[in-house]
Chains A and B, each alone.
Chain A
Amino acid sequence: NAGVTQTPKFQVLKTGQSMTLQCAQDMNHEYMSWYRQDPGMGLRLIHYSVGAGITDQGEVPNGYNVSRSTTEDFPLRLLSAAPSQTSVYFCASSYSAGQPQHFGDGTRLSIL
Chain B
Amino acid sequence: AQSVAQPEDQVNVAEGNPLTVKCTYSVSGNPYLFWYVQYPNRGLQFLLKYITGDNLVKGSYGFEAEFNKSQTSFHLKKPSALVSDSALYFCAVRARVSGNTGKLIFGQGTTLQVKP
Give residues in A with beta carbon < 8 Å to B.
4, 30-31, 33, 35, 40-45, 48, 50-51, 56, 58-59, 90, 92, 96-98, 100-106
B43 touches A43 (CB 8 A): no
CB distance from A12 to the nearest CB of B (A): 17
Q: Is the CB of A90 within 8 A of B32?
A: no
In the complex, number of A-B residue pairs with CB atoms less than 8 Å apart: 68
B71 interfacial contact with A, CB 8 Å: no
Contact at A33–B104, with CB atoms within 8 Å? yes
Q: Is B34 an interface residue (CB 8 A)?
A: yes
Please report the C-alpha to C-alpha distance between residue A64 and residue B100 in the assembled complex, in whole angstroms. 23
A43 CA / B44 CA spacing, docked (Å): 10
CB-CB under 8 A for A48 and B43, given A42-B109, A97-B94: no
Check A98 against B42 for contact (C-beta < 8 Å): no
Chain B interface residues (CB < 8 Å from chain A): 6, 9, 32, 34, 36, 41-46, 49, 51, 90, 94, 96-97, 99-109
Given contacts A43-B90, A98-B51, contact A51 B44 (CB under 8 A): no
- Measured CB to CB, the nearest residue on chain A to B34 is A100
In the complex, residue of chain B having the shortest beta-carbon distance to the beta carbon of A106: B43
Complex contacts, B45 vs chain A, CB 8 Å: 103
Within the complex, what minimum Cβ distance (angstroms) separates A49 from chain B? 10
Contact A58 B103, beta carbon cutoff 8 Å = yes
A97-B94, A98-B51 known; 19 other A-B pairs, CB under 8 Å?
A4-B43, A30-B100, A33-B104, A40-B108, A41-B108, A42-B109, A43-B44, A44-B106, A45-B104, A45-B105, A45-B106, A48-B104, A50-B99, A51-B100, A90-B43, A92-B43, A101-B44, A104-B43, A105-B43
